[in-house]
A and B are shown apart, each in its own frame.
Chain A
Amino acid sequence: METPWVEKYRPKVLKDIVGNEETVDRLKVIAEAGNMPNLIIAGPPGTGKTTSILCLARALLGEDVYKEAVMETNASDDRGIEVVRNNIKMFSRKKVTLPPGRHKIVILDEVDSMTSAAQQALRRTMEMYANTTRFALACNTSEKIIEPIQSRCAVLRYTRLSDAQLLKRLLEICDQEMVPKVEEGLEAIIFTAQGDMRQAINNLQSTYAGFGMVNAENVFKVCDQPHPLLVQAIVAACIEGDIDKAYGGMQELWGMGYAPVDIITVFFRIVKQYDMPEYLTLEFVKEIGRTHIRVLDGVDSFMQLTGLLARLVNISRAAATTHS
């Protein structure tokens, strides 16, 4: 069984990390100089937060003591207040012989899933053992981290990767894995990934494993998302005020068995990109958003989707759009 490409191509050194150059540059300097401050890396999924921390830890400590001097936990581990107070504290007290300027590192992935009580328990530990142990935290939203902890760390923000950055990495992987690909296929992957490198690589691998060829059709089949072209046709029909056509398109999508959430997500993305007056975009987005919330609430019937179409057509009819 082949390893997932996400793991296979996870960068091992800091310089391989894609995106967020400025922050990663600073991490490189720290990796050379040692004396890492406590860190919080916050950012959306798939932007390299955990990878950065792992690379940093490896660069600081080296492979041989890595196992001994690094404690890694993530949300799947039990991280109740007990663990913070016992395991982490015990680890902080542990004696490990390290070169000067190096410290043991506690890596807490997905800190935002820790209860605030556990975080409270963490905060004194961070201070008491600051001479021997440093903390590196990763989270999606730093708001869920209590302020005392934020205050004790340097908070780094990672932003979503740009399409070009995703593309560059995907091309590298394609070259190494000899993946047959077309330009549209990669663009489709990027479209579905929305700045999430992990998802992009996963989709690439699944498409390759499933079809052997990365083109747009296959990508959307694998990702089980409605093809944006179909959705775009529906949106176009809505703008024209042609309810029959829009309804037909939606019926076809529904018949293909796509989940309503997926349909409406793609719908939103298409409307966002569609070249129409800002006024219409905003009105459309409002309607789609409301419907999306209903769908999320569990009211995911065909009726909701077609109702959305009707409302959109209404908006365009009221605007009485004319084509140039």
Chain B
Amino acid sequence: MPRRTTQKKKPVKNGSGWIDSQFARASRRVTAEDLIARDDAGGSSAPKRQDGAALWDRCQPTTADALAVHKKKVDEVRGWLTHFFSRGQSQALASKVLVLIGPSGCGKTATLRVVCRELNCTILEWINPVSQQRVAFDRAGEVWWESQRAQFQSFLLRSRKYRALSIGDTTATTSKQLILVEDLPNYLRSQHEVPAFHDLLRSYNAAAVAPLVFVLTEEHLGSLGHAVSRLFPTVVELQGVFNTIRFNPVAPTKMEKALTTMCTIAKIDAPRSSLKEIALQADGDIRAACNALQFLHRPRRGAALPKQTRKRSKRSKTRAASSSSSSSAPSAAKAVRGRDTSMRLFHAVGRILRARRRPPASSGGPSQDPRPKTPKFMTQQPWSQSPVASQSSTPPTLSPVRSQPAAARRRPPDAGGGGGGLLMTTPAPVQLPPHLQHMHRDPLDAVTTPEETLRQSCVSTQRFSQFLHQNYIDYFADFEDLLQAADAFSCADLFNTDSAANSSVASEYFGMTLARELVFCNTSPLVSGWRPLRKPVDFDAARTHNLVASLTRFAHDRSIWRPVSFTDRDRDVADDDDDEDDGDDNDVGGVDEKEVGQAEARAEQTRQVGGDAGGATRSQSTSPSSTRAPSRVRHSQPAATASTASTNHTKDSSSSSGSSGSGMGSQQTGPTVVHTSVLSTSETCTSRVFSMQRARPAVEEDISDFTDSDE
């Protein structure tokens, strides 16, 4: 019964690699409005049963109510698309490109799909073709190749002529169509392609009739790629080339609700506590939560599974053994996490920062805290020729060696033998002298050693130290302890360097030097009271840093910004500590008085610009979109610049933080919003510099750093 192995139609693909997307078909096939209704109908009306599909695929929401995304986000996407389809040719100048950005599993694609269903809009998706180059034949019959870039371009620009193939489906006669790019073309990995890509978007804006939607995953900083910041930099967005909608991670309550729905659909009996745990562990990633749910809980027997009567007894036995529904599942959930979550990490961090020590009275034993015990071969007992064969029948008999009390293990001093020529001395218990008594520590009152905790947290040592570093100060009461802890951080950092990180023992050193030393030097940890653990500000800082860098690079490429020396008139506005005088005094006025386009043209002659950047600049000024750059302000009087800029800046920052759809979105931190709004207000250089300096002198220093390095 070759029933459901390759059940779905093969994606319909024509030569240049565009495909009637799978979910376009999925959305058309579905008739029932409700999730559950859809699933139930799956058995009868739809030709295939869904039991073989992953839970994730079965639980795709089809209505806006079923989405785990915040209502406002759905409205935003819907609003954008509705606006797009409803506007006439008069507004054809605005952007036709929408970029959905968010962490993975936050419902970007699902939202788009649901909205498209509502609007009765088909989706045409770009899928990277299998072979890199497409073979075609010209008239002479010769084979020639087409690069992926050409394919992608022709896909975008020609898609308005052809619509998705609708095979065996009559509902697809809608006139609305949307182009989706989720699978970024591989050629875009190259940095050199980025300006051309922006040009492509601009020409798309000029010519196309269908909206183009990119769905991008926002990844952790530090991961390779950076597709978002590289391909869709803020500065290009500000020119109106594309619009951005940012998604947040799914809220825990929403996640729990969605999981409960999934359980209903898949007929899974899962206890509430287990769902809660999964929702917490998933860290806003609903797909990961769904996967964890599928892994941890099997459906009720006979519900969604194919019938296998012969196995039934056996399976129920397994179920009884593992008691999947209640007892073992929550504990197993610890081993199965959605993905690298901070949840477990926070536990580990807390365990290290809140470590307690046993009072000496209760400890009793002479031993240290749970350190690995000395193996028997270390004690150098002469090997007694006891028959091994008798022991081997009961294998675990050897293991209790590890759990013997330390005192009993310790070899009497006179039993020592020569260890290979060296006179073996007994490891006698060493005690600290009186003047170092403050370094004495009672045994740790913990189930695991700090090193073990670090290992169990399953994150890289680097990440772990970031979290510790962010939070450790709150737990220290003594300044001297704090000093020692800071020293521990610097020392542990040594083991995070590249050369050390390749070695397997680096993490062990790290565990000893940082995790244990933190525990060690904190003589009176503040364990009482609730102190929230925070994630490292390093992440946000790096994001802001990237933004500022891209802004600066943009300004630099277009030659509208350069290190400015301020005239006397302007000095009252600028900060005193600016040290970027380059002797460019003459240029300041020039930039101010002319329109930016002219300044560009002039600057291109005078200023040496990198080849790529120059090309981008030139094409920008010639393409029709450059005349539509938003709110370009011409400043005629340099003296007025500062005040104008500052008022603009305050006004604009309030407005742009209010509307999360435009600009950088509500997620951004304060300073970022300021910069964005400053940029969108005016493109003249001096005002930008002034406003930045007013807003945040520190950031301005950053900029100068960048410019220096660029030059």
Contacts and interface: CB of A to CB of B under 8 A. Distances in A.
A227 interface: yes
B667 interface: no
Contacts of A39: 295
B422 interface: yes
Nearest to A290: B494
B323 to A, nearest CB: 11
Interface string B403-429: 000100000000000011111110111
Given A147-B219, A293-B500, A319-B432, A232 B54 contact: no
A324 B458 contact: no
A205 interface: no
Interface in A149-181: 150-157, 159-160, 163-164, 167-168, 171-172, 174-175, 180-181
Interface in A97-155: 97-103, 115-117, 120-121, 124, 128, 130-132, 134, 141-143, 146-148, 150-155
Nearest to A219: B377
Given A230-B420, A275-B427, A124 B183 contact: yes
A130 B335 contact: no
A86 B509 contact: no
Interface stretch (B2-10, B193-201, B620-628): B2-10
B279 interface: no
B294 interface: yes
Interface stretch (B238-246, B314-322, B548-556): B314-322
Interface in B349-384: 367-368, 371-378, 380, 383
B396 A182 contact: no
Interface string A49-76: 0000000000000000000000000000
Chain B interface size range: 35 or more
Contacts of B578: none
B398 A186 contact: yes
Contact of B2 (A28, A97, A181): A97
A96 interface: yes
A190 B373 CA distance: 13
Given A82-B132, A143-B340, A292 B509 contact: yes
Contacts of B491: 286, 289
Interface in B491-522: 491, 494-495, 497, 499-500, 502-503, 505, 508-509, 512-513, 516-517, 520
B171 to A, nearest CB: 22
A183 B376 contact: yes
B5 A96 contact: yes
**A81, A121, A293 interface centre (most CB from chain B within 10 Å):** A293
Interface string B318-332: 110010100010011
A223 interface: no
A249 B225 CA distance: 51
B340 A272 contact: no
B429 A324 contact: yes
A244 interface: no
Contact of B5 (A81, A121, A132): A132
Contacts of B402: 163-164
A289 B499 CA distance: 13
Interface stretch (B68-76, B434-442, B558-566, B567-575): B434-442
A290 to B, nearest CB: 7
A184 B440 CA distance: 34
B463 interface: yes
Contacts of A322: 431, 433
B51 interface: yes
A191 interface: yes
B430 A229 contact: no
B392 A117 contact: no
Nearest to A164: B399
Contacts of A128: 11, 22, 127
B280 to A, nearest CB: 15
Contacts of B57: 130-131
Contacts of A9: none
Contact of B223 (A38, A85, A147, A285): A147
Nearest to A174: B392
B500 A22 contact: no
Given A154-B336, A239-B430, A296-B499, A37 B291 contact: yes
A134 B295 CA distance: 13
A8 interface: no
Contacts of A35: 51-52, 54, 294, 305
B298 interface: yes
A293 B494 contact: yes
B704 interface: no
B294 A37 contact: yes
A278 interface: yes
B127 A321 contact: no
A286 B502 CA distance: 18
A201 to B, nearest CB: 15
B249 to A, nearest CB: 11
B431 to A, nearest CB: 5
Interface in B290-349: 291-292, 294-296, 298, 305-306, 311, 314-315, 318-319, 322, 324, 328, 331-332, 334-340
Contact of B335 (A32, A85, A156, A164): A156
A249 B422 contact: yes
A117 B328 CA distance: 38
B158 interface: no
Given A147-B220, A286-B513, A319 B433 contact: yes
Contacts of A164: 396, 399, 402
A124 to B, nearest CB: 4
Interface string B48-74: 000111111100000000000000000
B380 to A, nearest CB: 6
Contacts of B167: none
Contact of A146 (B219, B401, B516): B219
A81 to B, nearest CB: 6
A37 B55 contact: yes
Interface string B1-32: 11111111011000000000010000000000
**A25, A42, A152, A215 interface centre (most CB from chain B within 10 Å):** A152
B516 A282 contact: yes
Contact of B8 (A26, A131, A297): A131
A38 B56 CA distance: 11
A216 interface: yes
Interface of B: 1-8, 10-11, 22, 51-57, 103-105, 127-128, 130-132, 182-184, 186, 189, 217, 219-220, 223-225, 285, 287-288, 291-292, 294-296, 298, 305-306, 311, 314-315, 318-319, 322, 324, 328, 331-332, 334-340, 367-368, 371-378, 380, 383, 388, 391-392, 395-396, 398-399, 401-402, 406, 419-425, 427-433, 435-436, 439-441, 455-456, 458-460, 463, 491, 494-495, 497, 499-500, 502-503, 505, 508-509, 512-513, 516-517, 520
8 contacts: A23-B335, A34-B305, A131-B52, A131-B53, A131-B57, A156-B336, A167-B398, A183-B391
Query: Closest 9 CB pairs between A and B?
Result: A184-B377, A229-B419, A151-B104, A150-B339, A279-B439, A116-B224, A154-B295, A289-B509, A216-B377
Given A82-B132, A117-B186, A184-B375, 19 more contacts: A22-B331, A35-B294, A37-B295, A90-B130, A100-B51, A120-B184, A142-B458, A147-B104, A147-B219, A147-B339, A155-B340, A164-B399, A164-B402, A190-B375, A229-B420, A229-B422, A272-B371, A276-B427, A323-B428
